[in-house]
Amino acid sequence: MNNKKTHIYFVPGLAADKEIFENISLPENLYTLHIISWLIPSKKETMAQYAKRMAAFVTEKNAVLVGVSFGGVVAQEMNSFLKLKKLIIISSIKTKFELPTKFKIAKKIKFYKLIPTRLFLTSKNLSKFAFGPTSRKRLKLYQDYLHIRDKRYLDWAIKNMLCWKQDIPLPGVYHIHGDNDLVFPIKNINNVITVQGGSHIMLLTKGSLISRKIVDIVSYN
């Protein structure tokens, strides 16, 4: 192992897996990339308990952790169990106050209890929830990136996304966000590295730019 390399761990967005990072390209002589796949939560597992299990996959010291969308929320929870070099979130939120109004209403009426999970098990509906409004052509394309259809996982993830309790941003978190994100509108979000024209799925559409921003953050002392 080359000890000079920086190990970067990635947590994908809701229901997504490693394919979501296919357009992320970092210099192989400087970085080793690891993708942390979603675990199926146990019954009544708390966010903290789940984050601790996910954090166990970060085995390298002084690593960088990158979380996307809901994966960004989980990454921030994982931070409590790790000593990281950098924590980066992409297309995500830092506190419950950065959630859009529709999500806050969904939490208030306990949307996650009212809507049967089976409605999200179809690739079309899951894509709409995970990626937000988009064209039919793109929606069909993005369906291929969502592989986690387990009912327990989806119930748990949707509830914990809507009911996240974080009220103060973690110190030192780097937040990359698109100014055209329709899932988490940038108007509700503070202190971000803005990507012009970036949507909620800019990880796919602007992979080269996001890769450069990750390198800039990691290399900045």
CB 71 within 8 A of CB 191: no
Give the global pTM: 0.88
Give, for all 221 residues of the chain, the pLDDT tens digit. 445 899 999 999 988 889 999 999 999 999 999 999 999 999 899 999 999 999 999 999 999 999 999 999 999 999 999 999 999 999 999 999 999 988 888 888 876 665 655 555 444 544 455 555 554 555 555 566 777 778 899 889 989 999 999 999 999 999 999 999 989 999 999 999 999 999 998 999 999 999 999 999 999 87
Torsion (CA) 32, 38, 41, 47 in degrees, nearest 10: 60
Rounded (5°) CA angle 148-152-158: 75
Main-chain dihedrals φ then ψ at residue 151, nearest 5 degrees: -60, -45
Q: How many CA atoms lie within 13 A of 108 on its CB side?
A: 7
Sorted by sequence, the CB contacts under 8 Å of residue 81 that are 6+ apart come out as 51, 52, 55
Burial class (CB in 10 A: 0-12, 13-18, 19+), 155: middle
Nearest to 16 by CA among 68, 91, 89, 87: 68
**Identity of the amino acid at 61:** K
Burial 120-129 (b: 16+ CB within 10 A, else e): beebeebbbb
- Helix ranges restricted to H, 56-193: 70-78, 101-108, 111-114, 123-131, 136-142, 151-162
Q: pLDDT at position 123, please?
A: 46
Burial class (CB in 10 A: 0-12, 13-18, 19+), 135: exposed
Nearest to 8 by CA among 90, 84, 72: 84
Distance of CA 184 to the CA centre of its chain: 12
Adjacent-strand bridge partners of 173: none
3-state secondary structure 29-52: CCEEEEECCCCCCCCCCCHHHHHH
Structural domains in the chain, CATH included, are 6-219 (3.40.50.1820)
